[in-house]
Amino acid sequence: MKLFIDTANIEEIKEINQWGILDGVTTNPSLIAKEGGVEFEDVIASITEIVSGPISAEVIGTTTEEMVEEGKRLAAIADNIVVKIPLIPSGLNAVSQLSAEGIKTNVTLVFSANQALLAAKAGATYVSPFIGRLDDIGSEGVDILEDIVDIFYTYDLNTEVISASIRHPQHVLESARVGADIATIPYDVFKKMVVHPKTDEGLEKFLADWEQRE
């Protein structure tokens, strides 16, 4: 499974990228806004200088024309840009047009398997079901993720499934278990995934024993 980081914070991206495990980055308008006073396209350009894998940058427009125009502008920033498009009817049309021009797309705000199927049919490179937000409203986010993975496998659809809106390490584990192609993981969840008290305890003991050697 590929691991993306879900952030627009340059320092967070640099730190996790140094682990040598990062396959890509996803951003969204809320994550960019959180960085405060930064130019959207400048942040995206900076990220492309750090990570060579796919970098998702989301459009703000909601008509097909706006999304296609913005998508082309974003895609021109670097070869590894993926244009993130919301799953609305005008968005499906934008995905069809952008994919016909060879521009990669990530269809976002996906909350059902039917929406994911439509995105794949429109030619999306990636779909992003939001498992955490589904859990928030009492649905089983991972069950919907699993349905999408199964359907894409059954029909041999090329669209890759990004498990998104991940809230904790268990979400990453469950996404891996059901066969998501990618998990896009917030910085704090990466930091939780890497630690285990028995690792720290074991290392401390190894080093103490080494110091005691004869």
Angle, helices 187-194 vs 10-17, to 10°: value is: 30
Nearer to ligand E4P, 26 or 175 (CB): 26
Nearer to ligand E4P, 48 or 128 (CB): 128
Residue 57 forms beta bridges with which residues?
83
Give the nearer residue to ligand E4P in terms of CB position, either 140 or 204. 140
Pick the closer one to ligand E4P by CB: 26 or 105.
26
- The minimum distance between CB 214 and ligand E4P, in angstroms, equals 54
Residue 128 beta carbon to ligand E4P: minimum distance, rounded to whole angstroms: 5
Helix (H, G, I), strand (E, B) or coil at 78: coil
**Which has the closest alpha carbon to 110: 94, 90, 89, 86?**
86
SS3 for 87?
Answer: coil
Is 104 an annotated catalytic residue?
no
Closest approach of ligand E4P to the CB of residue 6, in Å = 5
Q: What is the residue whose two structure tokens read 């521009």?
A: 103
- Contact residues toward ligand E4P (CB under 6 A) are 6, 26, 28, 108, 128, 130, 132-133, 164-165, 184
Minimum CB–partner distance for residue 56 and ligand E4P (Å) = 6
Kindly state the tokens that stand for 112: 């059902």
Whether residue 106 contacts residue 26, with contact meaning beta carbons closer than 8 Å, is answered with yes
Q: What percent of the chain is helix, strand and coil (3-state, nearest 5)?
A: 50, 20, 30
Q: Which of 34, 84, 104, 191 is catalytic?
A: 84
Active site residues: 84
